[in-house]
Structures are given as structure tokens and as C-alpha cells.
Structure 1
């Protein structure tokens, strides 16, 4: 513990018996003599009051029981980065060697050294470090200027979570000395951040991954600091009570992954403020309390211009209870993977397999659901079961196998926007068999050419191997398109409702 107080003690992060706190007061607290520190605990249950004593307010806390008065000699103010590195890594797994004497020449004079081998070995160890973990090592700052750059020039990844860093400036002082830094984890450091964009320093010019979970950062502070992250690809902001207050315009344009989990104040309107980040591929929204979403720029069966690059969306532990949420997700242009476990929609009394099938059927481009691949055969089965489950409802709403009579009402289309696309009504002609009557068949768009041939083989009593398929569309009069790959689906060949299937043998 520290016997002397730092000059800038107010606002410093400290550790006491394993608990972390922030110093809010330093001075005398009558009637007890001697110096005291007033601290605000990270864990409000650890304290006894709100910073008041016998009617006098010495400091203020966000929670009525987060404050305590502590004697300075009970408080750990931590160590600098380089000291923590040496404590953690230097010769930690090797037995202590006996000190050896060595004669070296400095200038023209021989000088006797003790422990020279050990010093060389330590320097060699530190200079080779690339991935560093200093979690919960009481790091409070950079230390002597230039010391980190000299001792550990090759560090690329640092875990500095749960330390005693107090401000973003202290982080910059460390990062400024690490020219190859790509990954930085600052979780569980209660940092103060600048309210306006800090001057460019180049401290984070190579940084690709930044973890700021449980740091107390606000969205405005994220945008202020983000100008210093020119190549950032992954940003983690879990559990910060974030409210997305404005659209990022000139910042965060390189971010591919954004984690906003456990920020309970985020709603769909706030999400629209980040909807045009051009490279955003993964969005993690677990435990934000969301229950609905609607993309106002896209009607039924259309794609939204929002989240143009989004491929993977995580919605675990939310309040999603309506199928309309899944219908809206089908509007995302690039969505291929979805995780949505522990929601009322997926955890209700319904059979889990049926729920999975309905999600697959409603989101046409989905390739992975809850970390399990959606194989083509599963998709075909899911879409077939979906059509069967709501077929009667479709007919009652005005649906019909004849394209000219097929007019389901708006209520049905809003509840099942993909149903129409799953049911292709096709005319089937036989150009070489004029005595065969033209018929109409309803086929799922996901049905493969091979499956269509199998159906026609049974219908016509002709071996599959002898059948040749093509189709023509009213949109392209006079043009015939061959269905040459048996493993591809009708959708792959852009077969649409009302097209004509041509069968030869």
C-alpha cells in the first residue's frame, strides 16, 4: 500500500482488498484526526453512505451506499505499465539464477558487473513480447516517458482489463509507445473520456480491435475518440448504458463488428442511426431489450437500404415475441447468419424444430441459424412445411393457384410476405408432344431441377434420365432458358410466378 499520496489523487482509481473504487475526496473528516480518502466503490454494496458524514457533504456518489472513508495507507494506487510487465513476464517461470560477475569494457576501462546475464535475458524477453495479458494487475499509467517503447517495442495485443487506469489520456500515453498495437482490451476500467475530439496523436494508427466493455463510455464520447481510430475493425461496447444519440458521419467507417450488448436503452430508432455504416458486417445486440423493428424504406417483398453489408446479427436474450420481427429481417440485403436464442418467440410452448423451420422459411437468404448451418435440404423442407401450415389461411385470404385469380389480402401479405414467393404457379408444356394437355403446377422456388424431373417422371411415366427442361418467361418473349444443372433450384434460374416450363424427352 502507498505511504505517500499522489499529488493528483482526486479522480484516481484505487484498489482496496480486491475491490475497485474512485477517489472523490482527500482531507480531514472531523472529529477523527488524520487524513482520509473518500472513495466511490464500483460495487455500491461495498460502501456505507453517499459521501456525507454527520450532515456534511464531502463528496457525491451515484448510489446512496457507494461511498466510504478509507485511510490512505489501506489504499493501493497501483503500478506503471512497465513495472506490471516485469512483474508478470520477466523470468516468471524460471528458477532464480545465481548472480555472476562479468568484466566488460566501457570506454577504455574494464568494469566489473554483477547479474549482467540476467539483465540481458530480461531485456531479450521483453523485446520479444507480442501478446500481453495484464488483467487485474493494478496498472495505473504509462510510467517513465519512452520506457515502454524501449523495453517492449513489438507488442501487438494487450489485455488491460480491470486495472486502475483513470483516463483516456493515460491510455494514449501507453499506446503512443506501441507502434504495432492492433488489439486493446480496456474493459472494467472506469475511465474519464474527453468531451471533444482529442488532438491527433497517431497512438492508435494500427489498432484494429478495441474492447471498451463496462468502462462507462457514452456514445458521444465514442464519436469524439473515434477520429483517432482510422483502421478500427471491431468495437466492443457492452454494458455501458449507451444511448445512440447521433449518426456517425466521418468516423467508424471501417468498423466491421459492433457489439452493443447489454445496453438496455437502445431501441430500433437508435439503431437506424448506425444503419449506414458502410462496412458493418456483424452486429451484436444481445440483451438490449428490443422487441420490434421495422424498416420504413422497404415495403412487402422489398429490400431495405439500411445495414447494406450486415451479414451476421445476434439478438439473443431479448423480448422478441412476434413473427413480424423475422419478416422484417428478410428485408436486409446481406443477412446470412442469425442468432436469436432465449426470446419469447423461440422459448415459448411451440416445438423448437417448428420454430426453427418457420424462421428459415421467413428469411430467404439465411445460411446459419443459432450457429447451425441451414443446409439446402433443410431449407426445402422448412419452406414446404411453411406452405402446408399456412396454405388454408392463404386460400381463405384470396390466394389461388391461377395467377390471374391469385389476390391474397393485405393482412395475409403483411403476416406472410414470403409466402407468395415460395409458391410458383407454372404452366407446363410439352413442345414435342402436342397431344399432351398443358397443365399448371405449384412448385416451391427452392425445389431443385432434379426434384422437378422426379415429379414429372412420375406424372408422365418417362425415365428421369430422358427429360430435358427449360423455361420461358413473359418478360423475355421468344427466349428459352435451359435448366441444365440438376442440383440448382428454380430460384437460381430466376423462374417466377406465371412462367412456362418446357418439357422434352
Structure 2
């Protein structure tokens, strides 16, 4: 019996980029039984041990080692080498489909089968492998069937293994601008070039989950990707060095997605990637803050996505307190979700970025571990002065004002102990405080230093003795029912407005509050200072809050 050994990589898992690949050509395969995509590696034939079932076999290695049974050896004989000791399997050739070319896949998915058609009548339509019963769907299918007019196509999961006959794509569908080729059987960058060479208008290309072999030397393919603006290479196994080798061929690229590739940024891009506005490095756990400095000089980089890379700290050494860094000069949008950020110093450093106005920082110890998410949000807003959007929520001017005033008050006692003073001539907080709160002095200039009365520590109290039972009325909305609510007398007007905003579905900025008391009939007192409490305005049990918008 004989064995034909191959290397197989499933498109469902990651391949570490530092593992040497076996020698020989790679060919994509699809396993019918296991239902997983990948690449195979052809090697020489070897005699199988006599106790192995007779016949012709393929040796495969799965990206997910749990799907395999061995390391490519049997009874002491090594038939092929695996990257993982349990990643290998032997399977029969009849269980494998080697895929189809680009044009065949395109026709399978988009071309209507021949037959009589009448708009408005029920008919059976085959799209790809699916049979669909449609009514009045003819005109849509006809448009899609005109391949030469197609501009946006998806061939995801269609077992595409290459370009096919030379020039065939260019003749059939020359106007394609967007292509999704994710999760297919493309095995090398040369396969991609063969396809892209025939699509001169190509602007968006998704190659995710194709385990690709990239060139080992620099390439400059003039014209192949001359219009390409968006390139998605998630889970392709690409390394940073390979990115830089291919990048000269992407002269106008604006968005580059490199998620889940175990990338380590090893060198600074020089004369490449200079047009990139968005860079996604999500789920590359080998990246640290020092590596990020290597991409900090990309002149047009506006959006940087660093979710789930394990980062916990960042520091811009060229900028002191209150100064802006020269790094990431154009960066406006930063995503650091699902990391290990636990210190406020990380947030403080972000205030040094010249252009940052949008931040997403969810599911980090600093934010997820907080008991009061609203307070955490306020403190982030107060610490990053130019921020306009936080965690996809717009920061309105009144929210920023309230956040900065609350922050100023929350750390007022600490400021005084560190040497802070209401008298500007005596206001000299120590370096430790200024390092922990770089914007505090600016906020004192903006709003005035906190007064001693604001900083008094409240004595412990029994909540039930300080709850006010208030009637909530709507003078201009007669159809609204009068409500009765219990509120702490220490509650600020800002928080009362927040409560009412959620209750009434009315923006905080539109709410006007006042109150009236049975003790002062006919007199209405405005609650105009959002930072003061109900107690400050002498609101008592039985009084009525008047709400207008």
C-alpha cells in the first residue's frame, strides 16, 4: 500500500507565522466529511506500514490540533511533519474536493439557470447550492446574471482555488470593484495576483481565512493593485515582514485589516503604507507598546484598532504634562477593547494624542471592574480633553461640563493634601499629583479651584432618614400623570435630570427643573445649578418638582 502525504490547514483556526512550512507546492483542499477548508502540501510517496489499511491516503494537518490524531508518523515512520503533535490525520482521497476556479464559482453563485421566466410568477431559482422559491425575483437575478456588469460580489466559502484560464475573469466580469474571497482554498499570494491582475477596478478585497504563502522577497507589481483601497487579511498567517514586502504593490491602500495573525511588528514601515488611514491589528497577542511606536509615524493613520492584543500600558516619552506627542499625528479613532488596561495612567497618556476624538475602551479591568460605570465614563471624559465620542456614545457639551466638575470635586481633597490651594500664588501641587491628574490644574483654571464647602466629607447617614418623597408634575404636559418618587436629598440636579431623561425619553439638555412648596404657595424656585443638591435648594418632603421641556 502507498500513502500520498499532504499538508492541510483548516480555515477555521490560526496558523502561527514563525513555524517553517514543509517543502513543495501548496494546493487548497476541502474535506467533505469534516467540512473544513485548508491547504495541502504535496510530498514524495512513501511505503505505509503493513498494518495500516491498504489503499491510497492523504496525510493532512489541521490548524485545530483537536481534529487530528498524530504528528504525521505511524509505527515510527514519519510520513509528513506536523506543527503540533496531535494535528495530523490520514484521510481517503475520495473525501476531498480540490475546489473550483474563480469564474466557475462566480457562475455557480450568480448565474440563473436556463428556462422560461415570467415576472410576478412563482419559480424555482438556484443560487449557488441553494434552491429558492421566488415570486417576482426575475429582474433581480437577471441583473446579477449579467456578469460583465457585476461590481460587488461575494464568493465566501465557495472553494475557490485560483484564477482559472488566463484572461477568463477579465473577459467575463471586468468591472468588479469589491470581492469577498474569504474562507476559500487560495494557497499563495501568486493565486491572488492572478485574480487581481484581471480586475483593474478592484478597490476592496477580502482574503480572510485563506492560509496563504507570501513572497519571500520584496515585490512591486505595478498596476495589479493600482486601485485597491481596502484589503482584509485576517487569519491568513501573514507576518509583518511579509506585509512590508507586499506593501509596495498597494500604492493607494487606505484600510488594512490584519486581525488574528500572531503578528509581531518587527520594523518601521519606510516608504510603504503611507496612504493607510485605518489599521486593524486586533487579536495579535504578541504586540506590545514598544512595537506600536514603529507604526506611530504613519502620516495618514486616522483609525487604529487594537482590540484583544493584551496591552496594559502606553507611554509617549516625548511629551510632558499638558503637552502633545508628535507620535500618531493624525490618529482620531482608537479602539482598545478587551485588553488588560487597569491603570488611569493609560487614559492620561491618550490626552497627549494631537487628534484623538473617538475612543472605545470596553471590557478592560479599569472599566469592567468598576461598580459605577457612569463615574468611570465621567473620569475618562475629564481626563481626555478633546474626546467627542466614548464607547460609541457622543459626548455632549453639558456631559463634558458635568464630568469635569465632578472629577474636579472628587479629587479636590487629594489636590489640597498635595499642595493645591484656592489662592493661585499658593497653588503648588506636587509632581506625584500632577502625574496622576495631568488635567486637574487646567480644570481649576477653567472652572475655578474647588471651594472648601464642596470638599467636605459627608458624614455617614441612614438613607431612609434622608429620602425625600416628591411629586413630579409636568405643567406643560397635561396628559402626563403626576408621579411620586423618593430621592436622596444629596442627589444633584444633574442626576435628577438624568433620571427624568431616562424616564421620559427626553434629552437631558432639554429638561428645565424647578420646584414649589406648600409652605410657599404661588412661588416657583428654579433649580438652575446642575452641580448643587436638592438639599442645597431646601427641597423638602411633600414638595413638587416641576419638569418642562
TM-score range, shorter chain: 0.7 to 0.9
- Residue of structure 1 equivalent to 2:469: none
**Following superposition of structure 1 onto structure 2, how do residues 388-427 of structure 1 map, counting pairs within 5 Å?**
388-424=409-445
Asked if 1:91 corresponds to 2:106, the answer is no
**Following superposition of structure 1 onto structure 2, how do residues 244-323 of structure 1 map, counting pairs within 5 Å?**
244-323=265-344
**Following superposition of structure 1 onto structure 2, how do residues 237-248 of structure 1 map, counting pairs within 5 Å?**
237-248=258-269
Deviation of residue 25 (structure 1)? 4.5
With structure 2 as the length reference, what TM-score do the two structures score?
A: 0.70
The answer to whether the 8 Å contact 1:24/1:37 transfers is no
Q: Distance in 2 between matches of 1:123 and 1:287?
A: 39
Given candidates 200, 204, 219, the residue that maps to 2:221 is 200
The answer to whether the 8 Å contact 1:25/1:59 transfers is no
The answer to whether the 8 Å contact 1:335/1:366 transfers is yes
- Determine helix, strand or coil for the equivalent of 1:245: coil
- Residue of structure 1 equivalent to 2:242: 221
Deviation of residue 200 (structure 1)? 1.9
- Determine helix, strand or coil for the equivalent of 1:172: helix
Deviation of residue 75 (structure 1)? 1.1
Instruction: Describe the shift of the 1:142–1:422 C-alpha distance in structure 2 as closer, same or farther (beyond 3 A).
Output: same
- Determine helix, strand or coil for the equivalent of 2:161: strand
- Residue of structure 1 equivalent to 2:93: 72
**Following superposition of structure 1 onto structure 2, how do residues 111-260 of structure 1 map, counting pairs within 5 Å?**
125-260=146-281
- Residue of structure 2 equivalent to 1:465: none
With structure 1 as the length reference, what TM-score do the two structures score?
A: 0.76
Q: Distance in 2 between matches of 1:96 and 1:203?
A: 41
- What CA deviation, in whole Å up to 9, does each residue of 1:231-268 have, x standing for no partner? 00000000000000000011000000000000001000
The answer to whether the 8 Å contact 1:310/1:335 transfers is yes
Q: Distance in 2 between matches of 1:184 and 1:25?
A: 28
Unaligned runs of 5+ residues in structure 2 are 7-22, 119-141, 452-549
- Residue of structure 1 equivalent to 2:348: 327
Asked if 1:49 corresponds to 2:64, the answer is no
Tell me which of the two structures has the higher relative contact order, counting C-alpha pairs closer than 8 angstroms and 6 or more residues apart.
2
Asked if 1:34 corresponds to 2:49, the answer is no
- Residue of structure 1 equivalent to 2:26: 11
Given candidates 30, 40, 51, the residue that maps to 1:23 is 40
The answer to whether the 8 Å contact 1:25/1:37 transfers is no
- What CA deviation, in whole Å up to 9, does each residue of 1:393-432 have, x standing for no partner? 1111011122221110000000000000011189xxxxxx
The answer to whether the 8 Å contact 1:360/1:366 transfers is yes
The answer to whether the 8 Å contact 1:402/1:425 transfers is no
Q: Which is further off, 124-133 or 150-159?
A: 124-133
- What CA deviation, in whole Å up to 9, does each residue of 1:17-37 have, x standing for no partner? 211233234534342443322
Deviation of residue 346 (structure 1)? 0.4
- Residue of structure 1 equivalent to 2:401: 380
The answer to whether the 8 Å contact 2:28/2:185 transfers is yes
The answer to whether the 8 Å contact 2:277/2:303 transfers is yes
Q: What is the aligned residue count?
A: 403
